[in-house]
Chain A
């Protein structure tokens, strides 16, 4: 089962920042936090991942709390094309098989 908790849905106004929360209170020291998104029935798209430090790339920023029990994905200027289901996934660093365990995710609706 997924080790994360996310709100089932969120709305965001176009052009505003979208802040998607995730709780992972049982995360272990060697587990990474990953974010993916899925638009309609397309393949999941990798967004960003991190271990302890905050991370930023061209798509988003990832803020991880100091105790690592929660994180927030930030889309700085949401567009209509960012409407998707966003998945927060905890992944073991030395996972033999490397599998991703998806939960239900957060359905983000970006509105004009």
Chain B
């Protein structure tokens, strides 16, 4: 069964450093998403991406965040200068379409710890 994969599973970084979180969406999916979940809190939408452009982003997704599809398979989230409050689980998801009748499938997540 096709699945979304994410690497690394756990990333530890120092405050102010740049991190890149990687995702491989399901191969025939065209829409890609990043979500995050701070420990003990809700899963929060960050950004959606289609056709090499951001479709929608939340208030959390400020200038320190960026997304990219560098090749035909990877989808990345970059945090330019990490802060302590960026510590969270980051989930990548993908779907065939963006419509309401198209389910999103999530990866296992990357646990980001900023020290």
Residues of A within 8 A of B (CB): 30-32, 34, 38, 41-46, 49, 51, 87, 91-104
Contacts and interface: CB of A to CB of B under 8 A. Distances in A.
B100 A95 contact: yes
B48 A102 contact: no
State the main secondary structure of chain B at its contact with A. strand
Nearest to A49: B103
A99 B8 CA distance: 24
> Which of B4, B37, B43, B55 has the most chain A CB within a 10 Å cutoff?
B43
18 contacts: A30-B100, A32-B100, A43-B106, A43-B107, A43-B108, A44-B91, A44-B93, A44-B106, A49-B101, A51-B100, A95-B98, A95-B99, A97-B48, A98-B98, A100-B33, A100-B43, A102-B43, A104-B42
B98 A97 contact: yes
A96 B109 contact: no
Given A42-B108, A43-B93, A96-B55, 15 more contacts: A30-B100, A32-B100, A32-B101, A38-B43, A41-B111, A43-B106, A92-B100, A95-B98, A98-B48, A98-B97, A99-B58, A100-B33, A100-B43, A100-B93, A102-B44
